[in-house]
Amino acid sequence: MAEAVLAVYRGDRESGKPVEYKVPLAPGMVVLDALHYIQGHLSPDLAVRWNCKAGRCGSCSAEVNGRPRLTCKTRMDSLPLESPITISPLRAFPVIKDLVTDVSWNYQVNKKIPAFTPRPGVQWKMFQKDVDRPQEFRKCIECFLCQNVCHVLRDHGKHAQYGGPRFFVRVAGLEMHPLDGVSRAKLLKEQLGLGFCNITKCCTEVCPESIHITDNAIIPLKERIVDKYYDPLFWIVRKITKTGGS
Amino acid sequence: MTEKFETHEHDVLIIGAGGAGLRAAVEALNQGASVGVVCKSLLGKAHTVMAEGGIAAAMGNVDAADDWKTHFRDTMRGGKLLNNWRMAQLHAQEAPNAVRELEQWGALFDRTDSGEIMQRAFGGHTFKRLCHVGDRTGLEIIRTLQDRGVQLGIDVYMECTVTRLLLDGGRIAGAFAYWREQGRFVVFKAKSIVIATGGVGKAWKVTSNSWEYTGDGMALAYEAGAELMDLEFVQFHPTGMVWPPGVQGILVTEAVRGEGGILRNKLGERFMEKYDPKKLELSTRDVVARSIYTEVREGRGTEHGGAYLDISHKPAEYVKRKLPGMYHQFKELADVDITKGPMEVGPTFHYTIGGIRVEAETGAATVPGLFAAGEAAAGMHGANRLGGNSLSDLLVFGRRAGLAAAAHAKKTSAPAIDSKQVEDAEREMLAPFEHRGGPNPYEIHRELQDTLQSLVGIFRNEEDLKRALAEIQRLKERAANVSVEGSRLFNPGWHLARDLKSMLTIAEAVTRCALERKESRGAHSRIDFPEYDPVWAKKNNIIIRDGAGMALRQRPVPEMPEELKQVLAEDK
């Protein structure tokens, strides 16, 4: 039977290294199947996060040959088998063990975002053309691959001042909800650091749900901030009302 | 004694963070209770996220003639009248409001031309009734509830697993759990506990269920003395993927048939004409699963042992818009373009219909302070669940359980934690590290999956079930000596060692109930008793712990009031 060799990162917060495992191949096999084979037959304490194994929950993110992927959707027959396939944990978050990283920071960021707030007296009627845009953002399965490849987090470690593409997508979904009544522009500018994003589109490239993160979420949000804070007309109006009030 | 462990205290502790658990949490928070949610995975990854086709609610947005009575009738008929009638009634009456609530919390369902929530056809439902978002309805629901919970300040203990319920006398006092990350133990003190842990699908080999689905909540309740009910009824979804082997069992949503998909055998025959000429592909799941299985067994299956499911007669753009998940799933995992050709599908374990016996109004189990909702609870779906009725079940009964759990906590004094129970729970968790040279938990899990798959499947008989019971007994003995490698740090082998205990307990309960019910009804088909039996029509199987052993008895199915009997008799 044909075999593949996987070089899987084994280790914890302190130290670790790739360890090679030989895995028999089967038709249609995905990388997560190979990891399960290792758990079931070779190393029962290999730590891997996964849930649905159907590309719907976003748990099994890892870097396969250096590329951020959902391991449940990465076919073994799409990878070159001449050399070992490297499987490493996401790089933007601290390792807990093996392929499992500490993603709790994302849940902290999420708490900063004001929830959907319907406009007062709103009619609960919406048309498909009005929900098409926010529905795209609500496809997000929170795999955090976009967070993992964003330079601001991955290379510059600005976790404290920045929200990352996942949360720009979430905010876009709320801001573009046809019945929502609050503005999150201040939050985007001051707490989620949208200005750090220099639209390199790395996030869009890795999104397993094919959400147009940069074009449809980030750029329109950047425009909203410009309108609110940097539009000269608005600036004068703000200045006047502020003066008038003091 | 408990000072030794990290301890948290809540009025209401909810185990499980899927639709039922989160809806219960939101409601208990609304009542002013202090609420903790414990979940095995990260928040937002629970099984609800995999629900695809939609949520059933008689809103009448597409078919104006729909009403709760029709939904009630469909549910009872689909469940072969074994349902708890009161649950089916509450569910049908409250589901539309449960959907509206989601919309008010930010959910964005697909829309009709007049701006209402869109509804689609599904098996066993008289009218177009399933509110949906393409084929990712579950994701929309879990995200909406998650956001609502976060907004209300919910405390979530993620990647934390409850291994035992703690009792004070006969009532709930709390739970013993462990953090996956470091393997540390933790004690929760709580006046009320809501179990919302889903089913036991991972005990079968071909399943649409995730690793979390190991029957934990049912087994915890059983260990604490609660009654389980109707466990012989497990739902095999008619359409899972069958090829390639790595994806076997992954769900193919019923929405494919709801949108007009046709089933054919390898001879090209539309075989549902033979099994249910009236409803065809939109017959109930038990019937469609048996039909596909029979076609395959009689030699008319596809190359890889399934049936063809074809939606390619619909315009490609329509298929991609209404079934985007299916389009990508087949394209990426099976190299099949479903807009051009048929899918190969076959039955896959999907849903545990039985579970913890609860009161209809409150979700109260038979242990004071213990509640259950969603798939972990029994009664709502009778002998067979209709597609789409599970998401509405989660919301309707999650809300009711949260309400009742908060009310119970309000009128109850603080329970005491018994240090002996805590020590026992700790000892049990540490034992696999002390056994040396014992069996590997993965090996036992594979054997259990093979056993249940071949002996406790769609069609059953006495001989197979007796063999299964003997095999489960043998596996239980081996599991008692299971040993694990490595440290307590995020160790899946260690985790599985504990999950095995739950799976084996519930597998035994399923098998015992299946052996006892000597008739065929809904999802339970006995080759040796192929007909309905009017005596069994009036009985629910009950499982309860009896010392170290498992006792089986029956309770009469609750009698329906006259006015509902009339609703049921109306022919629409």
In a shared domain, residues A129 and A213 = yes
Q: Dihedral of CA B40/B42/B44/B48: which sign?
A: negative
State whether B494 and A45 contact (CB < 8 Å). Answer: yes
Considering chain A, what percentage of its residues have pLDDT values greater than 70?
Answer: 96
> What SS3 class is residue B134?
coil
Is residue A239 in some structural domain? no
Where are any strands of DSSP class E within A12-125? 16-24, 61-64, 67-70, 85-88, 95-97, 100-101
pLDDT value, residue A242: 59
Look up the CATH number of the domain holding residue A82.
3.10.20.30
Residue B286 to residue A246: CA distance in whole angstroms: 72
In a shared domain, residues A10 and A131 = no
Mutate to test the interface with B, among A13, A56, A76, A95 (most CBs of B within 10 A): A56
Q: Could you tell me how many helices (H) and strands (E) chain A has, helices first? A: 10, 7
Q: What share of chain B is helix, strand, coil (3-state, %, to 5)?
A: 40, 20, 40
Look up the CATH number of the domain holding residue A208.
1.10.1060.10
State whether B490 and A115 contact (CB < 8 Å). Answer: no
In a shared domain, residues A115 and A227 = yes
Residue B539 to residue B494: CA distance in whole angstroms: 39
Averaged pLDDT for residues A77-91: 96
In a shared domain, residues A92 and A207 = no
Is residue A240 in some structural domain? no
When computed from its CA atoms, the radius of gyration of chain A, rounded to whole angstroms, is 22
State whether B441 and A44 contact (CB < 8 Å). Answer: yes
> At residue A243, does pLDDT exceed 70?
no
DSSP assignment letter at B536: G
Considering chain A, what percentage of its residues have pLDDT values greater than 90?
Answer: 90
Domains and CATH numbers, chain B: 240-347 (3.90.700.10), 419-540+552-556 (1.20.58.100)
Mutate to test the interface with A, among B108, B133, B135 (most CBs of A within 10 A): B108
- Band of pLDDT at residue A232, cut at 50, 70 and 90: confident
Tokens read off for B188? 């929760």
pLDDT value, residue A246: 34
Note down the domain range covering A167: 104-233
In a shared domain, residues A126 and A89 = no
Listed residues A55, A77, A101: the one ending a domain: A101
Residue B428 to residue B497: CA distance in whole angstroms: 10
Tokens read off for A243? 């003066």
φ and ψ at B115, to 5 degrees?
A: 90, 10
State whether A177 and B47 contact (CB < 8 Å). Answer: no
**pLDDT tens-place string over residues B416-463:** 999 999 999 999 999 999 988 999 999 999 999 999 999 999 999 999
Is residue A242 in some structural domain? no
Yes or no: say if B152 and B393 are a contact pair by the CB < 8 Å rule: no
**pLDDT tens-place string over residues A140-199:** 999 999 999 999 999 999 999 999 999 999 999 999 999 999 999 999 999 999 999 999
Is residue A126 in some structural domain? yes
Query: How far is the alpha carbon of A242 from chain B, nearest alpha carbon, in Å?
Result: 32
> At residue B503, does pLDDT exceed 70?
yes
Is residue A147 in some structural domain? yes
Tokens read off for B433? 């590290």
> What SS3 class is residue B349?
strand
B321 CB near a chain A CB, below 8 Å? no
pLDDT value, residue B246: 85
Residues of B assigned a catalytic role: 237, 257
pLDDT value, residue B572: 61
Listed residues A101, A123, A153: the one ending a domain: A101
What is the per-residue DSSP string for A188-233? IIIIS-GGG-----HHHHH-TT---IIIIIIHHHHHHHIIIII-HH
Yes or no: say if B567 and B73 are a contact pair by the CB < 8 Å rule: yes
Is residue A96 in some structural domain? yes
Average pLDDT of the residues of chain A = 94
In a shared domain, residues A115 and A97 = no
- B268 exposed, middle or buried (CB, 10 Å; 0-12, 13-18, 19+)? exposed
Higher per-residue pLDDT: B566 or A232: B566
Averaged pLDDT for residues B207-236: 97
Q: Dihedral of CA B263/B264/B270/B273: which sign?
A: negative
Q: Which of B376, B375, B371 is nearest to B405 (CA)?
A: B371
**pLDDT tens-place string over residues A159-168:** 999 999 999 9
- Angle B419-434/B492-516 helices, nearest 10 degrees? 110
B contacts of A52 (beta carbons < 8 Å)? 45, 47, 49-50, 210
Considering chain B, what percentage of its residues have pLDDT values greater than 90?
Answer: 98
Query: How far is the alpha carbon of A168 from chain B, nearest alpha carbon, in Å?
Result: 15
Q: What is the number of domains present in chain A? A: 2
**pLDDT tens-place string over residues B226-238:** 999 999 999 999 9
> At residue A22, does pLDDT exceed 50?
yes
Query: How far is the alpha carbon of A114 from chain B, nearest alpha carbon, in Å?
Result: 8
Interface size, chain A vs chain B, as Cβ–Cβ contacts under 8 Å: 157
B contacts of A116 (beta carbons < 8 Å)? 105-106, 147
- Band of pLDDT at residue A245, cut at 50, 70 and 90: very low
Listed residues A54, A84, A101: the one ending a domain: A101
pLDDT value, residue A244: 40
**pLDDT tens-place string over residues B293-325:** 999 999 999 999 999 999 999 999 999 999 999
Averaged pLDDT for residues A5-11: 98
Yes or no: say if B89 and B397 are a contact pair by the CB < 8 Å rule: no
Helices (H), A119-201: 128-137, 145-149, 151-154, 165-175, 185-186
In a shared domain, residues A208 and A158 = yes
β-strand A85-88 against A3-11: which pairing, if any? parallel
In a shared domain, residues A111 and A229 = yes
Averaged pLDDT for residues B151-164: 96
Residue A229 to residue B206: CA distance in whole angstroms: 56
State whether A131 and B108 contact (CB < 8 Å). Answer: yes
**pLDDT tens-place string over residues A117-137:** 999 999 999 999 999 999 999
Where are any strands of DSSP class E within B214-255? 228-229, 234-241
**pLDDT tens-place string over residues B38-78:** 999 999 999 999 999 999 999 999 999 999 999 999 999 99
In a shared domain, residues A24 and A137 = no
In a shared domain, residues A80 and A169 = no
- Band of pLDDT at residue A227, cut at 50, 70 and 90: confident
B contacts of A33 (beta carbons < 8 Å)? 246
Other Cβ atoms closer than 10 A to B437:
6
Is residue A241 in some structural domain? no
Mutate to test the interface with A, among B47, B111, B304 (most CBs of A within 10 A): B111
B419 CB near a chain A CB, below 8 Å? no
**pLDDT tens-place string over residues B454-493:** 999 999 999 999 999 999 999 999 999 999 999 999 999 9
Residue written as tokens 């009654």?
B227
- Cis, peptide link before residue B244, omega less than 30° from 0: yes
In a shared domain, residues A116 and A217 = yes
Residue B398 to residue B195: CA distance in whole angstroms: 10
Phi-psi region of B566 (alpha: psi -120 to 50; beta: other; left: phi over 0): alpha
ipTM of the predicted structure?
0.95
In a shared domain, residues A165 and A224 = yes
